[in-house]
Amino acid sequence: MPQTNISLSAVLLAGGKSSRMGQDKALLAPKGIAMIRHCFDIAAAVCESVYVVTPWPERYQEILPKECQFVREEPLFGSTETHGPLVGLLQGLDVVESKYEWVLVLACDLPNLRLDVFEGWLNYLVNSPEEMMAFLPKDERGWQPLCGFYRRRCTVLMEEYIKKGGRSFQGWLQTVPVQELPLADRQILFNCNTAADLQQVATDNSPSFG
């Protein structure tokens, strides 16, 4: 881990149905390593602990290290369906130990993540304003909520939003203070949703770890 005074944990979200891919994209390896393992390794390099939130932890236990901690994502209010990444994140944040002020949140399908980018971003967390709830990159679509940092105590605000029926990540982010993280290479945010996306990553010769 980089030497900072930031106490940091990580939550990886692996609850998507991969409907456009036709198979579990977290297990695909366009650069020779399963995408969920690549994201885990990045998170583990900068965080003291890593949690994976998923409805099916059995799928990933063999390819993730023993120190990985799984959180089984559960449906809310008696439903048989999970309710998307915002609810999944809340369930993950709820088990993160209180000693961690900040939590790195990542999707499981980001094959172009680079360690040096996250090491640089850590500097933004140092002495950050107390009211700041998240540090996230942004593009033309808006905030990129599954590739950035959240204050652990944002769970209170997140739970209030969800209890009122809110499920939109972008909608919740509009209700809390968020600061933009700089990103020189937008390919870091590229996620694999289709077979064409997978082929594009597989033919990319850039480093897979950074």
All structural domains of the chain, each given as residue ranges with its CATH number in brackets, are: 8-202 (3.90.550.10)
Closest CA to 175 of 197, 188, 160: 160
* pLDDT given at position 80: 52
128-165 per-position pLDDT tens digit:
999 999 999 998 888 999 999 999 999 999 999 999 99
Query: Using 50, 70 and 90 to split pLDDT, how confident is the model at 6?
Result: confident
| List of residues 6+ apart from 135 with CB closer than 8 A | 121, 124, 125, 128, 148, 149, 178, 179, 180, 181
Note the pTM of the prediction, 2 decimals: 0.89
Query: Using 50, 70 and 90 to split pLDDT, how confident is the model at 30?
Result: confident
Block residue for tokens 């990580």: 10
Query: Using 50, 70 and 90 to split pLDDT, how confident is the model at 176?
Result: very high
CB contact at 8 A, 73 and 82: yes
Over pLDDT 90: what percentage of the chain?
67
User: CA of 44: how far to CAs of 118, 132, 166, in Å?
Assistant: 11, 24, 31
Cβ atoms within 10 Å, residue 55:
16
Query: Using 50, 70 and 90 to split pLDDT, how confident is the model at 90?
Result: very high
Query: Is the model's pLDDT at 210 over the cut of 60?
Result: no
Closest CA to 28 of 60, 66, 53: 60
Among 15-24, 172-181, 182-191, top mean pLDDT goes to: 172-181
Query: Is the model's pLDDT at 73 over the cut of 80?
Result: yes
**∠ at Cα 127 (133, 178), nearest 5°?**
25
* pLDDT given at position 198: 61
**3-class SS of residue 155:** helix
Calpha distance 13→107 (Å, rounded): 5
CB contact at 8 A, 82 and 8: no
